[in-house]
């Protein structure tokens, strides 16, 4: 998508994937005056329900891809597991951002870590395990560690903590001996993420650094601004920008980092799309991550987002609907909405399931302390563990 021309409002922007990220992209595009098209096989997909056009097809369906290309001036993706081959097919006739090569790197943990190393960005010591010989050759220094499937793992899925060689072998067998990456377990002080947006002309802007709390591998709480040293925040932003530039990346990219107990920074993983930790930007910034996604896709000018309010975001999982038993019961939204600075976002998913992302709640306030205090009140109402 090198040197992309500006696509003015009134055109149709397409997105591969119909989940909540696609839904929020659609809303941002429509706010700017664009029509939208979504390709997703689910008739009730959150993005498909609000788009102008919903192409109901699998991601590699030739007829569906042709239909999406025919009605779209440019096309993006809302999750990293859209097949890179589908993006290459679309790119033959339409601008696609991010490109298939960059998405392919993000889809494979081994390629991802190799890319971090090429960029001079530290990551956890690790080993690729594809064969029994590689399993036997794992260095003792990598244990205890975390075994992760090389592909298709997210939100804690496809991962296992292993203490020794016996647990490592058992975990690999449990994962059907698919290609995996074993990462050395690190002594963490915290987790942060950086979201950058890069245009086809190389212009890049970023959101404020986000401080994240995960539970069971799923993001639970994001706090902005992050309570970290300015030099560390600057280093994280510089690393994320370097990673994006080295892929000639166009679009919104999130890079997650671990902050180690000694104060150093290592890259964990990246997502070639808007990210859960950036959802607060809809309510707390003058330009959201989804508007940045629209701008990069349409070749529009990029402006640096400004955080106008300290914010804290709570992820709303389907577990909240089952806080009182096995029957799904709607949370007390009225009590939540009575709180000052509460911004509720529900994703239009018909059925709540444990572990399923149903929405998020952002609290904005004049100070970080006030946002936290109100967010804790919201958590108490919803039955979310305090933080």
Residue 81, pLDDT score: 85
Residue 1, pLDDT score: 60
Instruction: Indicate the SS3 state at residue 124.
Output: coil
Which of 321, 287, 289 is closest to 305 using CA atoms?
A: 287
Query: Do 198 and 183 meet the contact criterion of CB atoms below 8 Å apart?
Result: no
Residue 154, pLDDT score: 65
Q: Which residues pair with 108 in a beta bridge?
A: 151
Residue 157, pLDDT score: 74
Model-level pTM? 0.95
How does DSSP classify residue 3? Answer: T
- Distance CA(26)–CA(36), nearest Å, equals 6
How many CB atoms within 10 Å of residue 165?
13
Residue 156, pLDDT score: 62
CA distances to 51, 86, 89, 106, 154 from 83, rounded to whole Å, are 22, 5, 10, 11, 16
- Distance CA(250)–CA(253), nearest Å, equals 9
How many CB atoms within 10 Å of residue 93?
13
Residue 153, pLDDT score: 66
Instruction: Indicate the SS3 state at residue 145.
Output: strand
- Locus of tokens 């689910």: 42
- Locus of tokens 């040197």: 3
Structure tokens at 69: 């290309």
Length reported for the chain: 387
Residue 155, pLDDT score: 64
Residue 158, pLDDT score: 84
Tens digit of pLDDT per residue, the chain (387 long)?
Answer: 655 699 999 999 999 999 999 999 999 999 999 999 999 999 999 999 999 999 999 999 999 999 999 999 999 999 888 999 999 999 999 999 999 999 999 999 999 999 999 999 999 999 999 999 999 999 999 999 999 999 876 666 789 999 999 999 999 999 999 999 999 999 999 999 999 999 999 999 999 999 999 998 899 999 999 999 999 999 999 999 999 999 999 999 999 999 999 999 999 999 999 999 999 999 999 999 999 999 999 999 999 999 999 999 999 999 999 988 889 999 999 999 999 999 999 999 989 999 999 999 999 999 999 999 999 999 999 999 999
Residue 2, pLDDT score: 54
The DSSP line for 287-352 is S-HHHHHHHHHHTPPP----B-S-EEEEEEEGGGGGTTSSS-----HHHHHTSTTEEEEE---SS-
Query: Do 116 and 106 meet the contact criterion of CB atoms below 8 Å apart?
Result: no
Structure tokens at 379: 């958590």
- Distance CA(362)–CA(375), nearest Å, equals 8
Percentages (nearest 5) of helix, strand, coil residues in the chain: 30, 30, 40
Catalogue all structural domains in the chain, each as residue range(s) with its CATH number: 12-106 (3.40.50.20), 125-184 (3.30.1490.20), 188-382 (3.30.470.20)
Residue 326, pLDDT score: 85
Residue 324, pLDDT score: 81
């Amino acid at each position: 998508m090198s040197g992309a021309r500006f696509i003015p409002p009134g055109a149709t922007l397409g997105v591969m994937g119909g989940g909540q990220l696609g839904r929020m992209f659609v809303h941002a595009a429509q706010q700017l005056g664009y029509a939208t098209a979504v390709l997703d096989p689910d008739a009730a997909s959150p993005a498909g329900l609000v788009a102008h056009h919903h192409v109901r097809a699998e991601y590699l369906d030739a007829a569906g891809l042709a239909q999406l290309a025919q009605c779209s001036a440019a096309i993006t993706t809302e999750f990293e597991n859209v097949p890179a081959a589908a993006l290459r097919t679309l790119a033959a006739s339409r601008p696609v951002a991010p490109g298939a090569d960059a998405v392919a790197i993000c889809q494979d943990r081994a390629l991802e870590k190799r890319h971090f190393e090429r960029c001079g960005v530290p990551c956890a010591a690790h080993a690729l395990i594809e064969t029994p010989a590689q399993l036997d050759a794992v260095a003792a220094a990598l244990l205890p560690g975390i075994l992760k499937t090389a592909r298709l793992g997210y939100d804690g899925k496809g991962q296992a903590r292993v203490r020794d060689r016996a647990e490592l072998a058992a975990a690999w067998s449990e994962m059907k001996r698919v290609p995996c990456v074993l990462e050395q377990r690190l002594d963490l002080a915290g987790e942060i993420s950086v979201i950058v947006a890069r245009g086809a002309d190389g212009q890049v802007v970023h959101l404020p650094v986000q401080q994240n709390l995960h539970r069971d591998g799923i993001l639970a709480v994001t706090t902005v601004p992050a309570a970290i040293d300015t030099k560390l925040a600057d280093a994280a932003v510089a690393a994320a920008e370097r990673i994006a530039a080295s892929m000639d990346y166009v679009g919104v990219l999130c890079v997650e980092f671990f902050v180690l107990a000694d104060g150093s920074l290592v890259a964990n993983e990246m997502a070639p799309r808007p990210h859960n930790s950036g959802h607060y930007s809809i309510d707390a910034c003058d330009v959201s991550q989804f508007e940045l996604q629209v701008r990069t896709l349409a070749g529009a000018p990029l402006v640096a987002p400004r955080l106008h309010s300290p914010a804290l975001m709570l992820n709303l999982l389907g577990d909240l609907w089952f806080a009182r038993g096995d029957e799904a019961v709607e949370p007390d939204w009225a009590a939540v909405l009575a709180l000052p600075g509460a911004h509720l976002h529900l994703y239009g998913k018909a059925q709540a399931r444990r572990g399923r992302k149903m929405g998020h709640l952002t609290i904005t306030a004049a100070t970080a302390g006030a946002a936290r205090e109100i967010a804790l009140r919201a958590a108490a109402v919803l039955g979310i563990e305090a933080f």
